[in-house]
Structure 1
Amino acid sequence: MATVVLSPRDLAGCEHRVALDFGHERRRSAEPDPPGVQRRKEAAAEHRAMVRELLRGIHSDQPGAFVTVDADIPALERVDATLAACDAGAQWIWNATLPTDVDHARRGHAELLVRVGEGYVPIIVVNHRVSQRVKGAPLADGRPASMLTSPLWGWAPTPDPYRTPRPNRRDNLRLAHLSAMLLEIGRAASSEPSELRGGVIGVDADCIVVQDTGAMFEDYLEVLDRRRAIASQRIPTEPRRVSECKSCQWWVKCGPELEARRDVSLVASGNQASALTEAGITTVDQLAAQRGDPPENWPGNVRFTDVVIGAIAWLDDLDLVRRLDTPRVHRADVEIDVDMESYGEHGAYLWGTLRTDTTNPDEPAVYRPFVTWDPLPTRDEARSFAEFWTWLTAEREAAHAAGKTFAAYCYSQQAENRWLLGSADRFAGEPGIPSRAEVEAFIASDEWVDIYEAVGENFVCPRGKGLKRVAPVAGFSWRDDDASGEASMEWYRAAVALGGGRPDLSQRERLLEYNEDDVRATKVLREWISERAAEEIPHERDVLARH
């Protein structure tokens, strides 16, 4: 076997993936990425390019301070260029590639190296949030801030009372990996591992979040040693279904293996599967036969009976199992279904609505979208959101004035709430934009109903609670066979010409159709829960009695 050299990606996630990556003839790197993975990579590349230009602009008045290593030259030349920039004392080195450390099985690159004293601190740029604003007033009661940040113009770690961290183990391991590589070649800002630091620039790109890499150095070294042994095939691994399976190209190999041995991870995930395996429950059949108390170390946020029912449902090919004798969901005279479409972290470009007056069965349900086709991020997002909020508020007030009950519905309110509140914050003061307090009051009211939560209250969902999993059980189907959140990202790129060229108007129509189907699916599902689910879905007591 060739010498094992690990990148930061090999340190986190599925251990069996690492074993397959290094031990199988068909190396994963030779296979094309699934579309969703490719889109995320492209979005991350765009974000890194934006941050590069932002930093280049900030330091443009300091000739020679900001050095960019050409990403298109061979790896060894990038290493030479990085070391030459270090020798020249460059303050900021973009796209830094470090020498491969064969002895310790390490390779890696940092988006940025920042000179601190006689050495360098690694900075990585990621396309997710690494901090969040403190709600309310900043800490002012003598308590220490929970994190350090540094401005983009220089390395100046300072306690930050305005933010709280959003820890990410993958980021922390990568920074420890890079710090160890810098330490090995004598380029680190400190020769003491316990004093090592790193930084992360997240999707907001408004500061550098400072990480104490020294504090996790022992943990990192343990992870490195174990992953190195796995990659060298010295520690055996076996497949288990985990969250990353959905985007892993090894699933074509692992999936059939798990099915063949009826592995319990097919119906129980994460800590559930670990607790079951520790208790000797390794197959779906064994789990289906369980009754009574859960095994030791069972996660307290999951009802054990639900997982047993999930195993039975897997054996009997059931999509849903009813919890209640009579399913219930909040209904109203005027019902408005809402579905939001966003593009990554850049904003919400579409608020789709479907209005139904249940007191007048002859009145058709009307779909109405509020949309901007200016590429995100754009100030025109404020206009479309304001129009949506103004219309929704008017419908609510009109229903109340007519003596009718009102409810607005979404599917999994976490996404909608995030952009409702975020839009109120970002566009505060612009025409038609509600205050944060108005949005919070609406979200907290009984008139904002999450059908996702209603599904969970009424049913055990062995195949998942996603709308596209559950709505077909109620008889709904999407017009587009490729409809999905991942696919909509590609459609949006074409619709607004993010990749260049001319906007594809057909993809705009496709997005509107997809959004309309989503709100209609929520309506169909809600009505089905009220009217037919009790007759069509077996109750859990009957399912448990089968095995």
Structure 2
Amino acid sequence: MGRPSVSGAMLRDLLLCERKVALDAHGGDARRDPVSPFVRMLWRDGLAHEDAILGRLRGSVVDLRGDDRDLRERETSRAMAAGAPTILGAVIRSGDKIGMPDLLTASGAGHVAFDVKSGAALESATGRYKREYLVQVAHYARILGEIGAGPADTCGIVDRTGAAVTYDLSIPLGRNLGTGGDLHASLLTRAREVLDGAGDTAPALSARCGMCEWRSHCRAELAATDDLTLIPGLGRAIRAPISSIADTVAGLAAADPAQLRALPGVGVDRLRRFAERARLLADPSAGPVARAPLKIPAAEHEVDFDVEADPMRGIVYLHGFWHERESAEPGFVYFFAETPDERGERRAFAQAIGHFRQHRDAQWFHYSAYERTAYRDLQRRHPEVCDAAEIEAIFASERCTDLYATVAAQTDWPLSSYGIKAIAKACGFAWEDKDPGGAASIEWYDRHVAGEAGLRERIVAYNRDDVRAGARVRAALRELEATGHIAGFQRPAA
């Protein structure tokens, strides 16, 4: 059996994690984790979105999506040769490269390839091409150019709104980054090396690992090799320069702080902070450490809040609030979007804003910047509910505290993640659900919308635990500042 063909999806995976490509090619299915329900939901919803977008096309359309791959490849060649205006489900090939663009459209220079995506085609912060999308469609453009069927530097994305955004592979992606064509060429070379088994690939711990079928296998590898990416904040991109002075957590822990110097992409202060975190991870008796006064605000009435969102539908559907008062029992209040649409989102948002107004004298807490971003976006979508100034007042530093910002900037923990789940569990909190997680709750909501009974209660219970976990972390941080330790802290089992 020969080497697999290089596909656009393979190049996207390589951009994100080359270890996944190596394991897909050489790892064997027995070591894979089961595909999570959330990932299956993404696949299903992605296909449904693709069908909805492509189903709107009018005019002369050659639709090959129901055929087998060999027939699709033959019919694609015939349709392109005949100048078909629109081809769906195409298969194109050149040498060891195969491409399966969702859509080919005729242009004056031949056919141009597009993929349909449920996200935005451009990065929101920079307005640049989304690189994980670009490498896929660049692959199709290069194939079309090589077989003389279309321009080699033009391709595009049909985004979540149905708008077509064209990518020009000849322009630079950013300062010193080369062009989109350069990025494709380098990934193609590396993909061939990985498929041939040449050159080592190494896993790296990241937020994306949770959805990967190789997560258990790679986590065991990372633990066995004492990999540097087990240190929070130390990702794949800066592992290489840091490994020039130490290639394991224990090695970095043993480094003399006075001898540490700035490395490419890593300033000396940041490097010393990583070394401090490494020392905590390497010491089995270590607990959390406060590096500066935490100054967690205290008030007679304190509220932890959290939102749940469905990124596929683009709505925030649940707002949860955990109230603690000196003179009353703690209590949970929530507002749920009764319909999975703009109207339901607006009503729940209005109820949440009313709740903030009702308790404007309380001290508010959340964990991570997501809540601020979500409320700003909600205000822009529903300006009739409140104005932007009110959102900024809610999150003003004198009345609202992001506990994650405190954790990340002013503390260090002997943990590989500073997320709410890792921190709260280490501080003794336990979620009621056996499978807690934001991805799981999105999948539950999808099934709830489809009519499955009992899931609304599960979603609400999960959100209640999230805000209670925030309260537990808040109490633990105060204990750490007051006593120098957290009595209930327990490191996770290896």
TM-score, normalised via structure 2 length: 0.86
Aligned residue for 1:199?
156
Separation in structure 1 between the aligned mates of residue 381 and residue 227 of structure 2, nearest angstrom: 47
Aligned residue for 2:282?
315
Separation in structure 2 between the aligned mates of residue 177 and residue 450 of structure 1, nearest angstrom: 42
Separation in structure 1 between the aligned mates of residue 253 and residue 322 of structure 2, nearest angstrom: 41
Whether 1:174 aligns to 2:139 is no
Aligned residue for 1:131?
122
What are the residue-to-residue correspondences of 1:135-284 with 2, within 5 Å? 165-188=127-150, 190=151, 193=152, 196-203=153-160, 205=161, 207-215=163-171, 216-233=180-197, 235-243=198-206, 244-267=208-231, 268-279=234-245, 281-284=246-249
Whether 1:68 aligns to 2:90 is no
Q: Secondary structure at the match of 1:67?
A: strand
RMSD of aligned alpha carbons:
2.7
Aligned residue for 1:41?
43
Kept in 1: contact 2:19–2:202 (CA 8 A)? yes
Kept in 2: contact 1:78–1:96 (CA 8 A)? yes
Q: Secondary structure at the match of 1:50?
A: helix
Kept in 2: contact 1:271–1:299 (CA 8 A)? no
Structure of larger gyration radius? 1
Amino acid at match of 1:527: A
Separation in structure 1 between the aligned mates of residue 261 and residue 389 of structure 2, nearest angstrom: 43
Counterpart among 386, 390, 395 of residue 434 in structure 1 = 386
Q: Secondary structure at the match of 2:119?
A: coil
Counterpart among 378, 382, 389 of residue 346 in structure 2 = 382
Aligned residue for 2:423?
470
Aligned residues: 468
Kept in 2: contact 1:471–1:522 (CA 8 A)? yes
Whether 1:487 aligns to 2:440 is yes
Q: CA deviation at 1:485?
A: 0.8
Separation in structure 1 between the aligned mates of residue 364 and residue 137 of structure 2, nearest angstrom: 45
Separation in structure 2 between the aligned mates of residue 263 and residue 424 of structure 1, nearest angstrom: 42
Kept in 1: contact 2:203–2:221 (CA 8 A)? no
Whether 1:457 aligns to 2:448 is no
Separation in structure 1 between the aligned mates of residue 265 and residue 482 of structure 2, nearest angstrom: 31
Q: CA deviation at 1:24?
A: 4.1
Q: CA deviation at 1:308?
A: 1.7
Kept in 2: contact 1:4–1:232 (CA 8 A)? no
Q: CA deviation at 1:178?
A: 0.3
Counterpart among 366, 378, 389 of residue 423 in structure 1 = 378
Amino acid at match of 2:185: L
| Structure-2 change in CA distance of 1:381 and 1:218 (3 Å) | closer
Kept in 2: contact 1:339–1:410 (CA 8 A)? yes
Counterpart among 349, 366, 385 of residue 317 in structure 2 = 349
| Structure-2 change in CA distance of 1:334 and 1:253 (3 Å) | closer
Whether 1:117 aligns to 2:108 is yes
| Structure-2 change in CA distance of 1:264 and 1:49 (3 Å) | same
Separation in structure 2 between the aligned mates of residue 482 and residue 297 of structure 1, nearest angstrom: 40
Aligned residue for 2:175?
none
Kept in 1: contact 2:129–2:167 (CA 8 A)? no
Q: CA deviation at 1:509?
A: 0.5
Q: Secondary structure at the match of 2:139?
A: helix
Identity, in percent, stands at 26
Amino acid at match of 1:419: A
Counterpart among 107, 113, 119 of residue 98 in structure 2 = 107
Q: CA deviation at 1:309?
A: 2.5
| Structure-2 change in CA distance of 1:318 and 1:300 (3 Å) | farther
Separation in structure 2 between the aligned mates of residue 301 and residue 68 of structure 1, nearest angstrom: 57
Separation in structure 2 between the aligned mates of residue 240 and residue 287 of structure 1, nearest angstrom: 18
Q: CA deviation at 1:116?
A: 0.9
- Can you give the 5+ residue segments of structure 1 that lack an aligned partner in the other structure? 135-163, 400-405, 498-502, 539-547
- Superposed CA deviations along residues 310-359 of structure 1, whole A, max 9, x for unmatched, are 222222246852124754212233322211000114210001112233xx
- Superposed CA deviations along residues 450-486 of structure 1, whole A, max 9, x for unmatched, are 1111222331133211111111233322111211111
